[in-house]
Amino acid sequence: MGRRGPYICGIDAGMDVVAGKWKSLILWELNNYGTRRFGELRRGLPGVSEKMLVQQLREMEEDGLVHREIYREVPPRVEYSLTPDGTSLNEALGALGTWGQQRVERLAAEGILVEVSPTA
Amino acid sequence: MGRRGPYICGIDAGMDVVAGKWKSLILWELNNYGTRRFGELRRGLPGVSEKMLVQQLREMEEDGLVHREIYREVPPRVEYSLTPDGTSLNEALGALGTWGQQRVERLAAEGILVEVSPTA
DNA sequence: TGCGGTACTCACCTGGAGGTAAGTATGGGC
DNA sequence: GCCCATACTTACCTCCAGGTGAGTACCGCA
């Protein structure tokens, strides 16, 4: 979870909530699909361990970014989606995504960057 | 320094370069003042150690975000400033800053957040 | 009977980010 | 002669984010 302040500025507070190896990617994934099951998220994020996925999702839930809907069925079904706060955070990260994309292209053009994952 | 890919998406690449406890704040500081000496940055970032400041500045220089100008004087003078890439990164983080600011205000209104640094 | 799939929890371990404190060369002011 | 300020470097240590692998409860299917 976030430190919950005191923060030096808004960027500080924003970064605090997105810090965590998978959080920005979870945001991106949930924003693209609207609603995703735990297993779908796991398969969509190459390299995540189950432990980390649960952990990051729980923290994001506590931070009010994602909504968790449990369906009491067998086998169990749990669906994750973005809250309004999560959606707006994702929008706020849009510019950073564009910047990163351009950087990747620039580095690739200079032959510095080896490759980009096909998902990009 | 950044991993230099492969990245999953642009946000992934962008986050990679801003990851580091002080980088977004250095960006902010340099953008506000245009040019800052090492000591000014240290005093402007409450809590940084000299080691960390140097380290993060060096990484940002390698990543092409900041420019380092050395004046061979005694006592030594070194001035840091943002490169065009650094400036555009800072702009890309603007939306995140606004989001964070609003979040802080929302949490404060709910009495969850204790306080905000006066620099905010 | 036992294996696979669901969404987890738990215990353990490691690497590296980040912190602490000291050392360095130089000259100016007292 | 000594201390201060500049911008660092170096060695050492701690802590925790993140990874690994196993275990859990339930059911369907073969």
Q: Which domains does chain A have, with CATH numbers?
A: 10-109 (1.10.10.10)
Average pLDDT of span A3-17 = 85
Average pLDDT of span A89-106 = 95
Confidence of residue A2 (pLDDT cuts 50, 70, 90): low
Give the pLDDT of residue A112.
Answer: 67
Looking at per-residue pLDDT, the higher value among B3 and A44 belongs to A44
Q: Does residue A118 carry a pLDDT above 60?
A: no
Quick check: B88 and A99 CB within 8 A? yes
Note the pTM of the prediction, 2 decimals.
0.88
Output the six-digit token pair for A46: 């190459």
Is some CB atom of chain B closer than 8 A to the CB atom of A4? yes
Strand C footprint at Cβ < 7 Å? A 37-39, 50-51, 54, 58, 68, 74-78; B 19-21, 47-52, 56, 74-76
CA dihedral (B12, B16, B21, B27) in degrees, to 10, reads -100
- A12 → closest Cβ in B17, B88, B100: B100
> Which residue of B1, B3, B9 is the best one to mutate when testing the A interface, meaning the one whose CB has the most A CBs within 10 A?
B9
Instruction: Give CA–CA dist B96/B88, Å, rounded.
Output: 14
In chain A, whose CA is at the least distance from the CA of B120? A9
Q: Are A66 and A86 in contact (CB under 8 A)?
A: yes
Instruction: Give CA–CA dist A72/A82, Å, rounded.
Output: 21
Quick check: A119 and B95 CB within 8 A? no
Mean pLDDT by 10 residues, chain B (120 residues): 75 94 95 95 93 96 96 90 97 96 90 51
Quick check: B13 and A100 CB within 8 A? yes
